[in-house]
Amino acid sequence: MDHKNGYLSGPQISPQPIHGEISVVELIENSFLAYNAARLKEACHLFVGKMLHENVTIGLSLTGALTPAGLGVSAIIPLIKNGLVDYIVSTGANLYHDTHFGLNLPLYKGSATVDDRILKEKNVIRIYDIFFEFDVLLDTDSFYRKIIQSPEFQKPMSSADFHFLCGKFLLEREKVPGILDRSFLAAAFEYGVPIYTSSFSDSSIGMNVAEMMLKNRELQIDPLRDVNETAAIVYNAKSSGGRSAVMIMGGGSPKNFLLQTEPYIQEILGLNEKGHDYFLQITDARPDTGGLSGATPNEAVSWGKIDPGQLPDSVVCYLDTTVALPLLTAYALAKKKNRPYKRLIERKDQFVAAMQQEYLSREKEN
């Protein structure tokens, strides 16, 4: 039999019955056989089989209200602590809500069908089916207003430098019994993972920094430093003989900021590069409505974001991040633990200087 010219040469769909003792790895390997379940299995294989190699630098983007749902504690902290992510681009909201956990401020399971007028009267905030007291916001604002008055904050800095200092203060808070490993900002400080926010002013943390500026404080977040630092991280990964991987949870500004590193290197700086090597995206958006504009792997190739020679090493899974990220994390931790830490926060300035020298040398030649 010629298997219909190869079309019927793939593995036969022949699952085993699910049983009560099945592991996450067994479930994904044996039962995720088609549709987006199969795409998630492909994502797991790509993540563990190729992206987690020691010579790959992994950037993670986070969009949507993930930390209020507990994913900072359940998934992101384990990824950081086990060296499975090297730098992060996140919405400011995820970092702000992460701080609630670091301050031991409670969030509760609620209902998406409640009358929000009643919640307003009761001073209860709702994020879909998550409830918390209005005072949680006030207490978190108070924490940020207090720490950003510290001397070490009184200078221009990248958002990664800012979040590194915030993580330092949150890690001090975690020495209180009962709140260990509750904030991924604190974990990022401990393990040297830079965290960038592509729209710093579009968050409650940004609003608190803006309020400090009215008091003539010297703290300034320089978004252009973020552009150079993230690009330098990617350029160093590739120019030193390694590879670059992007792991995109959702879309929005963090997705684009993570991917624009390559067009910046190639198009703006004119340095020789081909694009990210590995592309893993979890999304519920669609390209035909503009929600995935420039960010499907094939389309990203045309921008120089993805190396066309590595296009097969790209997976897009159309699935809710709150479902996919815990499964992906559990699968990865079962397969590979304790990848060496790159501690990029301590090396990023060196990478920027090297990229700048290369750029200026090219400019001089031209």
Residue numbers annotated as active site: 305
91: closest CA among 108, 75, 123, 67?
67
Ranges of H-type helices in 240-274 = 252-259, 261-263
Determine how many CB atoms are found less than 10 A away from the CB of residue 339: 18
190 alpha-carbon distance from chain centroid:
17
What distance in Å separates the CA atoms of residue 42 and residue 32, rounded to the nearest whole number? 9
Question: What whole-number distance in Å separates Cα of residue 351 and Cα of residue 203?
Answer: 28
- Contact between 11 and 30 (Cβ < 8 Å): no
Phi, psi dihedral angles at 126 (to 5 degrees) = -120, 130
Tokens 């207090």 — which residue?
146
Can you tell me the distance from the alpha carbon of 242 to that of 186, in angstroms, rounded to the nearest whole number? 28
- Rg for the chain (alpha carbons), in Å? 22
β-sheet with 195-196: strand ranges across: 195-196, 87-90, 56-62, 243-249, 278-283, 314-318
Q: What's the maximum distance between 2 C-alpha atoms anywhere in the chain? A: 79
DSSP code, position 276: B
Are 253 and 227 contacting, i.e. CB atoms less than 8 angstroms apart? no
Tokens 């009358």 sit at which residue?
115
* Residue where the block lists tokens 């404080």: 217
Contact status, residue 159 vs residue 96, Cβ threshold 8 Å: no
Helix (H) or strand (E) holding 61: strand 56-62
List the structure tokens of 254. Answer: 């963090």
Contact status, residue 129 vs residue 110, Cβ threshold 8 Å: yes
